[in-house]
């Protein structure tokens, strides 16, 4: 192209014009692109889809509402309306005259009102000048005389009077008209009320209709005015978000996409529209955690302010889900957000941050199990963990172990506990990823031998047990199944991961013949406290013969395969090496060698045993002489759930860099992060292998991930009310003594139920225990249990509660359900008539067919019920009434019938209309009164 640069120009202007045209088009294009990029967001698609679902739902609801309208009612009203309208039409002339009158009067009244206000304006002003003139004598530019003011005042009052009179007449006329039309108006109202649901649905349907106004308000650039597609957010001021330098209010926009979260209608809708699975506890306005106060990320974590699927840090539940998400949403790990959302199955971890001080959180079913698992696995033995500081040692004291079992057993056991008892919580320390037997068998055996030597060297307590009296094994087996051992122990280990966690509190009762001294076992089942004063194992009040039978039975179980395992023995060279290793930590090599040469074999074993126990932290779970003040060896877990991922050593293990993945890997193979590393024995990872089942591992992951650093303002944290604090103290005892091994408390527990097929043989549900029993009776029962249900074989154990503990339990149960310790109604003197009515009712309802005092042949246990003889001192009057009113509500699954049921309209019905005028409340009260006086 020839250059056409004109004189005085640096460029060819027509070419510049072309460049300008092109770049203008490009600028326009990129501007449009910018607007579109800003407008097209994934959450808007969700809202559009939800509106479509809402339309369907509302249309359906409208249809249902239409069908709900009773045609008969509608017809009746329509007919009456027609009649009423006909009446009105007959009076048409009178009504028309009335209307004409009202209209004329209204016109007149309007004029009168205007006139009054005109005069009043002048009057108010003149009043001011008149007051000024009279009081100050110095007219403010205008003097008003008394005469002039009086005249004005008179005319103002006249005008007002005219208006008031008209108002009065008008009101009377209007009432007259209303009365003439009253029937029609009323019937119209009735008809409207009948179809109210339909009208509401119609109105809603109109507001979300697919029409021009609704499209127009959501158009790009126009959608700032009044869009219907918009971000929904809640601002949570109490449960703050910790941004390290500042705690800021949480802003959760989750409901922008999770639109059906609080609407039960969407329970089966696909995500993100699904209803929250537990609206009774969360989200809804009536629940304990309304979304407006708690938001979503307070519990679930994640980035509440974000609006994109990936940005809010959703965490996939499984690898399959992850693949699915990657495909659908381009999901990826967001390593810029320190607290990604919990997996759905781990969500209860989020409870801990506010409920940390509670030993048991009634509604958090998974979490209670998780925290118990964490405790049973003894995690806090090595890892200091806030909230677990005052827990007793997890394992038994070893100060008298020599009198309980033998050295060979202990050596084999320490070497590989799971070989003896797969369900044991005792972990394995040797033959793992970083000390495999293939390389280090001699060293491993030597370490075990040294530790056993040390432990037995410090076993100074104990005594020589005489041989137990002879017992009958088969009687013992029956007893173990009946008296309640199985509330805390498993008898059969297979499938232990399925068993109730409460039954895994104590060791499984297997292989004891290979383990225990018979004399010890006999003494132990009779009186566990004699050997270890901190044990939670109670006395079941066994007779000597029963104890001998149980001992005989338990010793029948042996572990021959385990006994065939070689006993780990010290290797001289390895022992020297280990001893030297510890000596060298404080001494130069020359001196260490000299010291080693001076030591006997025994010295070396004891010396390295002590060093190894300190290294492996055995004292975290067991009381061992010489380690009374030893510090826990593990990392503090109190805030592990907030630990920076960058602070975790993933070593050469190729897993996602997340807290959860690291923790799961650590629990599956605790030494794996040493793989490929050069480490001296003292530097190696020490956490032992627990061989957790999948569900136990999940429980521990849930517990640990919940231990976060977050601190909230006082308003955000759960603070226990006075009653809750009292209940909490009782729950601590309930937890420690494993009451849930046998009883349901707060609806959870009842471990022993799985061994008792007959529901009637199961220890009772302790729901409403506080209001059920009298404080006095419960106190004495706890201290020294007495028989309540004569047919039951399981015994309430004697826990040797101190008076303080028994009181704590009694007041705690009372606090749990707001009961009163004393029962005024029960104390009252009843008239003979009252009691006779109660007695009649009892007879007619045949209560005493089940509530009997002793065995009655053919009755099944589940049909038996406690005798009324106990009621006077045991039960409370109010509770009996509550129980009669709705037994299933108090004890789900009970055989007790509900004699006074409630019909669909919510009215309580009486089975015996002839008594007490059929008043159900009076009847129930009469029954309760009679039962409370059964013995008198």
Partner 1 sequence: MIGLFQDLVNWVSGPTVLFTVTTVGLLLAFRYTQVWSKRVAIWGFSVLAVLYVASMWNPDFLLIVAKPDNIPITGVIFLVLFFTWYAMYQGIENDRRRAAGEEIHEKKESDKVWVWPDLVYTEMLAMVLLSIVLLVWSILLAAPLEQPANPADSPNPSKAPWYFLGLQEMLVYFDPWLAGVVFPTLIIVGLIAIPYIDRNPKGNGYFTFRERKAEIVIFLYGFLILWCLLVISGTFLRGPNWNFFGPYEYWDVHRVEPLLNVNISDFFWVKLLGRPLPSGGLFAALLREWLGLLMVGAYLFVLPVVTSWPREKFPGFLRWLSLRKYYDRMGPTRFYIGVSLFLLMMSLPIKMYLRWAFNLKYIVAFPEIFFNI
Q: Which residues sit at the interface with partner 1, rule CB under 8 A?
A: 7-11, 13, 16, 19-20, 23-24, 26-27, 30-31, 33-34, 37, 243-245, 335-338, 644, 646-647
Closer CB to partner 1, 34 or 148, in the complex: 34
DSSP states of 174-200 as a string?
Answer: HHHHHHHHHHHHHHHHHHHHHTHHHHH
> Measured between alpha carbons, how far is 618 from 472 in angstroms, rounded to an integer?
38
Instruction: Tell which residue, 270, 304, 268, 264, has the closest CA to residue 284.
Output: 264
Taking the CA atoms of residue 428, residue 432, residue 438 and residue 441 in that order, the dihedral angle to the nearest 10 degrees is -40
Q: Is 732 exposed, middle or buried (0-12, 13-18, 19+ CB in 10 A)?
A: middle
Smaller CB distance to partner 1: residue 10 or 722?
10
Shortest Cβ distance from residue 351 to partner 1 (Å)? Answer: 24
DSSP state for residue 633 in the 8-state scheme: -
CA dist 862 → 754, 757, 762, 773, 876 (Å): 15, 10, 9, 21, 23
> Kind of pairing, strands 234-242 and 247-252?
antiparallel
Question: What's the closest the beta carbon of residue 6 comes to partner 1, in angstroms?
Answer: 10
CB 509 within 8 A of CB 553: no
Question: From the CB of 665, what's the least distance to partner 1, in Å?
Answer: 18
Question: Which C-beta is closer to partner 1: that of 10 or that of 757?
Answer: 10
Which one, 26 or 591, has the nearer CB to partner 1? 26
Expressed in angstroms, the distance from the first to the final Cα of the chain is 125
Beta bridge partners of 252: 234
- Residue 628 structure tokens: 């009374």
CB of 751 to partner 1, least distance (A): 43
Least Å distance between CB 240 and partner 1? 13
Residue 37: CB minimum distance to partner 1, A: 5
CA-CA distance, 43 to 253, in Å (whole number)?
A: 10
Q: Looking at beta carbons only, is 41 or 204 nearer to partner 1?
A: 41
Q: Which is nearer to partner 1, 311 or 760 (CB)?
A: 311
Q: Give the Cα separation of 368 and 451 in Å (integer).
A: 35
Residue 621 structure tokens = 């779970």
| 711 vs 804 by CB, closer to partner 1 | 711
Closest Cα partner for 249 from 258, 257, 240? Answer: 240
Nearer to partner 1, 44 or 109 (CB): 44
CA distances from 787 to 288, 782, 798, 870 (A): 39, 12, 13, 10
The residue among 337 and 536 lying less far from partner 1, judged by its C-beta, is 337
Long-range contacts of 656-663 (CB under 8 A, 24+ apart): 656/333, 657/333, 657/335, 658/333, 658/340, 659/705, 660/315, 660/343, 660/346, 660/701, 660/705, 663/701, 663/704, 663/705
Cα separation, 747 vs 891, in Å, equals 9
Spell out the SS3 assignment of 851-868. Answer: ECCCCCCCCCHHHCECCH
The C-alpha angle 412, 413, 415, rounded to 5 degrees, equals 65
Strands 282-283 and 289-290: parallel
Give the shortest CB-33-to-partner 1 separation in angstroms: 6
Q: Which is nearer to partner 1, 334 or 497 (CB)?
A: 334
Longest CA pairwise span in the chain (Å): 133
Residue 602 tokens, joined: 């025994």
- For residue 43, the minimal CB distance to partner 1 (Å) is 16
Q: How far is the CB of 363 from partner 1 (least distance, A)?
A: 31
Q: Considering the complex, state which of residue 11 and residue 117 has its C-beta at the smaller distance from partner 1.
A: 11
- Reference 251, options 290, 297, 285; nearest CA is 297
Residue nearer to partner 1 on the CB measure, 18 or 97 = 18
Q: Which is nearer to partner 1, 26 or 572 (CB)?
A: 26
> Which of 14, 854 has the CB closer to partner 1?
14
Compute the least distance from the CB of residue 338 to partner 1, in Å.
6
Beta-sheet pairing, 748-749 with 744-745: antiparallel
Minimum Å gap between C-beta 27 and partner 1 is 5
User: Cβ 29 to partner 1, closest distance in Å?
Assistant: 8
533-to-396, 405, 459, 525, 585 alpha-carbon distances in Å: 10, 18, 16, 14, 38
Within 40-145, residue ranges assigned H as helices are 42-68, 71-90, 92-136
Closest separation in Å from C-beta 244 to partner 1: 4
C-beta closer to partner 1: residue 241 or 882: 241
> Residue 651 CB, nearest distance to partner 1 (Å)?
9
- Determine contact, residues 420/511, Cβ cutoff 8 Å: yes
Tell the smallest beta-carbon distance from residue 8 to partner 1 (Å). Answer: 5
Under a CB-based contact definition with an 8 Å cutoff, are residues 344 and 338 in contact?
no
What is the nearest approach in angstroms of partner 1 to the Cβ of residue 680?
A: 17
Which C-beta is closer to partner 1: that of 180 or that of 648? Answer: 648
Select 167 or 242, whichever has its Cβ closest to partner 1: 242
**Nearest-angstrom CA–CA distance, 525 and 518:** 11
- Cα 223 to Cα 137, 231, 308, 724: the distances in Å are 65, 12, 19, 50
In angstroms, give the least distance from the CB of 301 to partner 1: 14
């Amino acid at each position: 192209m020839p250059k056409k640069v004109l004189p005085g120009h640096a460029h060819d202007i027509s070419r510049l014009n072309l460049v300008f045209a092109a770049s203008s088009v490009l600028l326009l294009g990129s501007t449009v692109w910018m607007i579109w990029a800003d407008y097209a967001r994934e959450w808007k698609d969700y809202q559009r889809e939800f509106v479509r679902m809402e339309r369907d739902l509302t249309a359906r609801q409208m249809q249902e509402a239409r069908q709900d309208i009773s045609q008969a009612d509608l017809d009746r009203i329509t007919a009456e309306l027609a009649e009423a309208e006909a009446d009105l039409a007959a009076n048409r002339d009178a009504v028309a005259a009335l209307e004409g009158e009202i209209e004329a009067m209204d016109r007149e009244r309007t004029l009168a009102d205007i006139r009054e206000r005109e005069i009043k304006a002048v009057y108010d002003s003149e009043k001011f000048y008149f007051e000024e003139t009279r009081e100050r004598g110095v007219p403010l530019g205008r003097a008003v005389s008394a005469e002039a003011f009086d005249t004005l005042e008179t005319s103002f009052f006249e005008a007002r009077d005219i208006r008031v009179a008209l108002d009065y007449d008008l009101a009377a006329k209007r009432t007259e008209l209303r009365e003439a039309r009253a029937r029609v108006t009323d019937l119209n109202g009735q008809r409207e009320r009948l179809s109210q649901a339909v009208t509401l649905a119609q109105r809603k349907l109109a507001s979300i209709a697919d029409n021009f106004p609704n499209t127009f308000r959501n158009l790009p650039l126009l959608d700032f005015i009044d869009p219907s597609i918009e971000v929904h957010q809640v601002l949570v001021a109490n449960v703050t978000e910790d941004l390290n330098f500042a705690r800021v209010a949480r802003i959760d926009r989750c409901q922008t996409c999770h639109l059906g979260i609080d609407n039960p209608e969407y329970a089966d809708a696909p995500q993100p529209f699904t209803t929250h699975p537990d609206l009774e506890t969360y989200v809804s306005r009536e629940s304990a955690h309304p979304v407006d106060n708690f938001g979503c990320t307070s519990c679930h974590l994640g980035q509440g302010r974000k609006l994109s699927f990936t940005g809010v840090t959703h965490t996939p539940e499984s690898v399959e889900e992850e693949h699915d998400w990657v495909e659908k949403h381009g999901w990826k790990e967001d390593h810029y957000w320190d607290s990604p959302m919990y997996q759905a199955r781990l969500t209860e971890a989020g409870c801990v941050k506010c409920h940390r001080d509670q030993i048991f959180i009634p509604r958090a079913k998974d979490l209670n199990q998780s925290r118990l698992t964490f405790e049973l696995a003894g995690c806090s033995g090595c890892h200091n963990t806030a909230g677990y500081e005052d827990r007793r040692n997890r394992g038994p004291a070893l100060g008298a172990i020599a009198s309980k079992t033998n050295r060979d057993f202990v050596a084999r056991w320490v070497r590989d506990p799971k070989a003896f008892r797969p369900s044991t919580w005792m972990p394995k320390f040797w033959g793992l990823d970083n000390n495999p037997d293939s390389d280090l068998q001699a060293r491993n055996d030597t370490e075990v031998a040294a530790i056993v030597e040390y432990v037995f060297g410090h076993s100074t307590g104990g005594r020589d047990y005489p041989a137990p009296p002879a017992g009958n094994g088969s009687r013992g087996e029956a007893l173990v199944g009946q008296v309640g051992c199985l509330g805390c122990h498993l008898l059969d280990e297979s499938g232990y991961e399925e068993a109730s966690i409460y039954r895994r509190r104590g060791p499984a009762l297997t292989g004891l013949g290979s383990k225990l001294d018979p004399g010890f076992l006999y003494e132990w089942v009779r009186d566990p406290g004699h050997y270890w004063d901190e044990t939670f194992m109670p006395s079941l009040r066994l007779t000597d013969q029963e104890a001998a039978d149980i001992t005989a039975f338990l010793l029948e179980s042996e572990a021959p395969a385990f006994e065939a395992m070689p006993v780990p023995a010290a290797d001289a060279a390895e022992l020297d090496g280990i001893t030297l290793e510890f000596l060298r930590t404080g001494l130069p090599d020359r001196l260490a060698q000299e010291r080693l040469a001076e030591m006997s074999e025994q010295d070396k074993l004891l010396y390295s045993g002590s060093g190894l126990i300190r290294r492996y932290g055995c004292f975290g779970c067991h009381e061992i002489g010489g380690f009374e003040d030893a510090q826990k060896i593990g990392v503090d877990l109190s805030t592990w759930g907030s630990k920076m991922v960058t602070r975790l050593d993933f070593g050469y293990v190729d897993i996602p860099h997340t807290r959860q993945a690291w923790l799961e890997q650590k629990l599956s193979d605790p030494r794996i992060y040493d793989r490929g590393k050069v480490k001296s024995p003292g530097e190696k990872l020490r956490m032992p292998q627990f061989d957790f089942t999948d569900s136990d591992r999940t429980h521990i992951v849930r517990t640990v991930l919940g231990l976060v650093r977050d601190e909230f303002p006082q308003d955000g944290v759960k603070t226990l009310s006075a009653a809750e604090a009292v209940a909490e103290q009782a729950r601590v005892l309930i937890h420690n003594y494993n009451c849930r091994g046998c009883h349901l408390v707060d609806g959870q527990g009842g471990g022993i139920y799985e061994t008792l097929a007959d529901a009637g043989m199961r220890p009772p549900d302790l729901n409403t225990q506080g209001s059920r029993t009298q404080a006095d009776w419960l106190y004495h029962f706890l201290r020294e249990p007495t028989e309540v249900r004569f047919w039951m074989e399981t015994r309430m154990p004697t826990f040797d509660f101190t008076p303080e503990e028994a009181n704590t339990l009694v007041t705690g149960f009372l606090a749990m359900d707001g009961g009163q310790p004393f029962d005024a109604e029960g104390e009252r003197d009843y008239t003979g008539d009252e009691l006779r009515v109660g007695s009649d009712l009892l007879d007619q309802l045949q209560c005493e067919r089940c509530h009997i005092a002793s065995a009655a042949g053919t009755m099944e246990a589940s049909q038996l019920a406690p005798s009324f003889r106990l009621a006077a001192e045991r039960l409370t009057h109010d509770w009996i009434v509550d129980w009669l009113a709705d037994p299933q509500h108090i004890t789900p699954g009970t055989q007790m019938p509900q004699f006074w049921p409630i019909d669909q309209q919510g009215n309580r019905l009486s089975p015996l209309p002839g008594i007490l005028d059929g008043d159900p409340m009076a009847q129930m009260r009469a029954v309760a009164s009679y039962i409370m006086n059964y013995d008198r």
